[in-house]
Amino acid sequence: MKKLFSFFIIILLIFSSQLNAIAAKNQHLALKSKGAVLLDSETGAVLYAKNADKRLYPASLTKIATAIYAIEKGNLDSIVTVSKNAVEQDGTRVYLIEGEQITLKKLIQGMLINSGNDAAVAIAEHIDGSVERFAANLNRYLKTTVGVNNTNFSNPNGLFAKNHYTTAMDLAIITNYAIKNPVFTEIFGTKVLKWEGKSWKTTLLTHHRMLKGELPYKGITGGKTGFTTEAKQTLATTADNGKLKLTAIVLNSDQKKDKYDDTAILFDYGFKTFHHVTLKQGEIFKMDTKEYYPENDTVITENVNGCIKRLNNGGALSIENNNGQVIQLVSLKYKEPMPKKVPKKIEKPTENKQQLYGANALYGIIFIAAAGVLIGVRKKFTRGY
């Protein structure tokens, strides 16, 4: 069942990834980030895209992929022994020490909340034995399970490597996949966490300023920050206004402020411009003589000013804005035509049957006449007595 669900998710994500060029072409937002994507977290609809398939460096947004892979493959209660290699990582850390033993879940918390590069390597070595093997397995997992094709990660933490890249669209799809997991969602949305390590006892605070509340935006539910000199500023954020749930990715912002401003612009646009509508089970959509229908009630995302529903030859329903921007593709089921009823032939009586019918009729008349005579004679004799 899990494989079937994963296959279904991959098909939907492949459909969604084909929409970004159209979405970017038909709408312009004043974003400073080089790459950006806004998705409906529930339907996967692509609401906005800018340079969505351009290869860019993700920095610590890599840790979103590391986290969901570790959560799905590992045992969260398993004990990880920290290696020298993990301890020697550059950049942001949770100050692990060699030989320290810590649960996998706590390492994932330290990696996502405090962006610990040491924690990320400790996770990789625990899950797959080495960073190199982890990277190979992670890339395979992202292709076959999550359904992205423009991503290659050479490490678990996002420290710069020339062959370590992704796209805004791929990261949006990865994040959207990850937030379906309740453990990931809990950690992704954690603002404050008490941390007690062997060498560091502190309170971890999320680095994401919108999630933390330093840059207030109503409805923020989770987030991850990133920065390297080569990647510049990167940001992943989720939000929920009670009607829509949105996922925003921005990559390659020059200034830290820019990535937050761009994220707010994306959310403002998404919440103001779109809403959910339900395609009813069995609702018929026609193309020429063929009919298609949703097998179940299906939630779609459409522009608040209405949309165009266009059926293609493959039976996919395209949800478009009035200006032609494709928002979502929904697979429908082909309705088999009803077999034509063949009229029953009325059998004409043959000559023999006609003669038989005539004889039977004659015998009937003779029988009725004889019965009448007998009744008359009987009455006559009765009166005589």
- Residues taking part in catalysis: 60, 63, 115
- How many Å apart are CA 154 and CA 44, to the nearest integer? 27
**In sequence order, which residues have a C-beta less than 8 Å from that of residue 262 and are 6 or more positions away?**
31, 32, 33, 36, 235, 250, 253
Instruction: Please list, residue by residue across 80-104, b when 16 or more beta carbons sit within 10 angstroms of its beta carbon and e when fewer do.
Output: bebbeebbebebbbbbbeeebebeb
Interstrand relation of 290-293 and 333-334 (parallel, antiparallel or unpaired) = antiparallel
- How many Å apart are CA 237 and CA 232, to the nearest integer? 17
The two structure tokens encoding residue 105: 């879940």
- How many Å apart are CA 68 and CA 74, to the nearest integer? 10
